[in-house]
Amino acid sequence: MPEPSHRRRMLVLAICCMSLLIVSLDNTVLNVALPSVQRDLHATTSGLQWTIDGYTLVLASLLMLSGSTADRIGRKKVFMAGLTVFTVGSVLCSLAPSLELLIVFRMLQAVGGSMLNPVAMSIITNTFTDPRERARAIGVWGAVVGLSMAAGPLVGGVLVDSVGWRSIFWVNLPVGLAALLLTLRFVPESRAPKARRPDPVGQVLVIALFGSLTYAIIEAPASGAAAVAPFAAVALVALVGLLRYEPRRAEPLIDLRFFRSAPFTGATVIAICAFAALGGFLFLSTLYLQNVRGLDALHAGLWMLPMALPTFVCAPLSGRLLGTLGPRVPLLIAGTAMTASGLLFALFEAETSDVTLLIGYVLFGVGFGFVNAPITNTAVSGMPRAQAGVAAAVASTSRQLGQTLGVAVVGALLASGIGTSSYASAFVHAARPGWSVLTLCGFAVLVLGLLTSGRWARRTAERAAERLRVAEIREVSVGAAERG
């Protein structure tokens, strides 16, 4: 296949970024609308958690399936299907008459969303073959997350205050339709040279693990430990099942051989920690600004700009540093800034002062802006191009799983801390354990960034990639012999 021209590569990148924009914008816009949804649909704290986590949970459960399916039947086909389902799901969300149906339609959105980000990253990986050019493209990709953070709270605030929370889902319609038409015209079809077979058992185990674990965390404060213990047990059994079953398959849903690479393993855990911090940060900040300070949605969105703008500015800078210096420097900056932000809230109750609140938001925005590009690049770099979809899907799954766990854990700690007390008076004290968790997440990014980006780590990545290539050649040779 001839190398696409620079102009066409840039166009493909723009189309892929459009898909990321609607998925990321959907989350940031919804966070600003949570208090309005809570009042209109009479939702509890756990109900709000499910509005976020129902979406991220389905995403996390299906991303690897979508990545391997795209490698098998064609990335363009799966990408277009994802855009269609996501857009239809957005329309249904805007019409939801109850909280339960809103959660269901959010899950339908997530089915479409699962076909977008990992497949788009795989398209980018196969379009930008030069490592330095790919790193810069991923930096642009990361900047889109920052753009969604900057635009989401403002767009959401304007729409919620002027039209109502249902209008936030209308934003996805023009972007989704434009991306669909442009994909049909300009994105080339691609697939892995060797089709991967489905892994239904592995898929069921992943859904059981993520779903049971999330349910146990969210519902524990209201239902008690005894009531959620069976779900925790199911999660444990599913985890053991995955670890025992997947290595025995020739083409597993989760190729555990990837984790022999220290940078890949580090990127996976860093993604979980960083996005757990993001999910918890947005959840606590939105509820505090509107339910405690009494701000309307627009002014709450304006208060989120000191976090969003640094993310937008730092993401492409992270991509350039990544292309020239490697992942260590961006990860150390990210971990340091996120840890400092968490400490301000956990130890000094930063939200009670405008100055410290502003500093805490800026620090978190800087940290999150630097973390995204090295996660993505490390996940796909060095892997055989035929495995690009699966490797990118593991990284995307880690992000969504992290955000799911962040909202679940922080929301559960908040609900336990408030109890039957007055919401506004108890919030700051009740939120401190949640901020402590976010501090630990930032510190984990710092430590893992240091440990998994040195020479030893790179050697493990080279060995893992070589073993994957040898195994791939062997599997192709065996398949050819069987057909012969």
The pLDDT tens digits of the residues spanning 325-339 come to: 888 999 999 999 999
pLDDT at 213: 92
pLDDT at 1 over 50: no
pLDDT at 382 over 80: no
282, amino acid identity = L
CA–CA separation, 125 and 195 (whole Å): 18
Alpha-carbon separation of residue 257 from 94, 121, 371, 387, 443 (angstroms): 42, 21, 24, 12, 27
CA–CA separation, 117 and 33 (whole Å): 24
pLDDT at 133 over 60: yes
Q: Of 91-100, 104-113, 296-305, which range is least confident?
A: 296-305
pLDDT at 480 over 60: no
pLDDT at 396: 75
pLDDT at 281: 94
User: Who has greater pLDDT, 63 or 165?
Assistant: 165
Percent of the residues in the chain that have a pLDDT greater than 90, as a whole number = 41
In terms of C-beta density within 10 A (0-12 exposed, 13-18 middle, 19 or more buried), how is residue 468 classed? buried
Query: What is the mean predicted confidence (pLDDT) over 36-44?
Result: 91
pLDDT at 443 over 90: yes
Question: pLDDT grade, residue 147 (50/70/90)?
Answer: confident
Alpha-carbon separation of residue 383 from 150, 260, 265 (angstroms): 33, 12, 13
pLDDT at 82: 93
**∠ CA 86-268-282 to the nearest 5 degrees?**
55
pLDDT at 385 over 90: no
pLDDT digits (tens, 9 = 90+) for 160-208: 999 999 999 998 899 889 989 988 888 888 776 666 678 889 999 999 9
Mean pLDDT in the chain? 86
User: Who has greater pLDDT, 390 or 15?
Assistant: 15
pLDDT at 271 over 50: yes
Query: What is the mean predicted confidence (pLDDT) over 210-231?
Result: 90
Please give the model's pTM, rounded to 2 decimal places. Answer: 0.85
pLDDT at 233 over 80: yes
296, amino acid identity = D
Question: pLDDT grade, residue 420 (50/70/90)?
Answer: low
pLDDT at 102: 96
Query: What is the mean predicted confidence (pLDDT) over 64-88?
Result: 87
Alpha-carbon separation of residue 410 from 147, 275, 285, 392, 403 (angstroms): 25, 13, 11, 27, 11
Alpha-carbon separation of residue 452 from 49, 334, 461 (angstroms): 33, 15, 10
pLDDT at 476 over 60: no
pLDDT at 259 over 70: yes
pLDDT digits (tens, 9 = 90+) for 3-26: 567 778 888 888 888 888 888 788
User: Who has greater pLDDT, 224 or 244?
Assistant: 244
Query: What is the mean predicted confidence (pLDDT) over 97-116?
Result: 93
pLDDT digits (tens, 9 = 90+) for 296-336: 998 998 998 899 889 888 888 888 888 788 889 999 999 99
pLDDT at 479 over 60: no
pLDDT at 152: 81
Question: pLDDT grade, residue 66 (50/70/90)?
Answer: confident
CA-nearest of 420, 314, 418, 423 to 374 is 314
pLDDT at 5: 72
Query: What is the mean predicted confidence (pLDDT) over 379-402?
Result: 71
Query: What is the mean predicted confidence (pLDDT) over 116-142?
Result: 77
